[in-house]
Amino acid sequence: MSKAVKFGGSSVANSEQFKKVKQIILADPDREYVVTSACGKSGQEDHKVTDLLYLCAAHITYDVSYESIFQSIVEKYMEIKRSLGLKIDLGREFAKIRQNLAQNLNLDYPVSRGEYLTGLCLAEYLDADFIDASRVIRFHYDGSIDLDKCQELLKVQVEDQQAM
């Protein structure tokens, strides 16, 4: 039986937590689908990535530099990458995010980047396929999830991943 598991922010707050997540996944081969939150707080002085992204968006709205806040996000993910020996090109990902932040002030975009980045890192660490939820989740006009469309898009994404 195929299972989906969800890990909240504190479960993926740093590289040590990623290691625990991997042990949990490997302990049950039925755990085939992994959903992750953005990195949470790993200590009293730390901040949740989603909170930092909201702050970046607020700074952009008021034309105030968000560089120091954004840099703390970069450092958090770079430390995870370094500690776990990941090969992912986070520099390219952060450059893309900066570019999109400058062009798009829709709040959904910046606050979704934490889950996106954590998902990329976790997928590589687990040697799993990464699927961007924005490519497979669709809603009906009434706000309910269009499961048929989601399954169709997910199948295409999985096939594309396997073809690579």
CATH code, domain carrying 24: 3.40.1160.10
Q: Report, as an integer, the average pLDDT of 52-68.
A: 94
- Answer yes or no: is pLDDT of 164 > 90: no
Give the separation between CA 151 and CA 26, rounded to whole angstroms: 25
Q: Supply angle C-alpha 12, 76, 110, rounded to 5.
A: 85
Average pLDDT, rounded, for the chain: 92
pLDDT of 138 higher than 90? no
Q: Which domain holds residue 152?
A: 131-164
pLDDT, one tens digit per residue, over 85-101 is 999 999 999 999 999 98
Is the confidence at residue 155, as pLDDT, over 80?
yes
User: Is residue 4 within a helix (H) or strand (E), and if so which, with residue range?
Assistant: strand 3-7
Q: How many domains does the chain have?
A: 2
Angle between helices 15-26 and 108-126 (to 10 degrees): 60
Give the model's pLDDT for residue 136. 84
